[in-house]
Amino acid sequence: IDGASYCSECDTQNEHPQNGVCAATNRRTMTCNNLGSGVCNTCANGLLRMNGGCYETTKFPGKSVCEGANADADTCKTPTPGYKVEAGKLVTCSKGCDTCSDATICTKCGDGYTKIGSSQTCTKCDASCETCNG
């Protein structure tokens, strides 16, 4: 998530990833409504389900990809720059892209990046540039 590694499946069947760390369902606040074999199939209301785990969007790593989950589902309502919701799942935009229409088509580059010509991806500006245009 956002360049860091987090647990997506736990070794123990009665655990599931909670904010990227394996948690026993009987020891932590109940975040999973439908526990699978080491993963969560359905998260509690207001939590984001991603990569087999449940994430709070007010804490890292969840808030680095989603600003808010749908209250009645475990999907992202408002993705952070660099992510897009597609068919209820978070999609990572290409490197340097803040807003994309799909994973490979960037509609708005992030700071320090620009589109060159008719390219659909963003290219990093040279470090010596004050202003960078495609």
**pLDDT per position as a tens digit, 116-125:** 888 899 999 9
Instruction: Tell how far CA 61 is from the center of its chain.
Output: 8
DSSP E strands: which ranges in the chain?
A: 15-18, 21-24, 32-35, 40-43, 48-50, 53-55, 66-69, 76-79, 83-86, 89-92, 97-102, 105-109, 113-114, 123-124
pLDDT of residue 27: 57
Q: Specify the amino acid at residue 47.
A: L
92-108 tens-digit pLDDT: 899 999 999 988 899 99
pLDDT of residue 64: 92
Q: Which pTM does this prediction carry?
A: 0.75
pLDDT of residue 2: 67
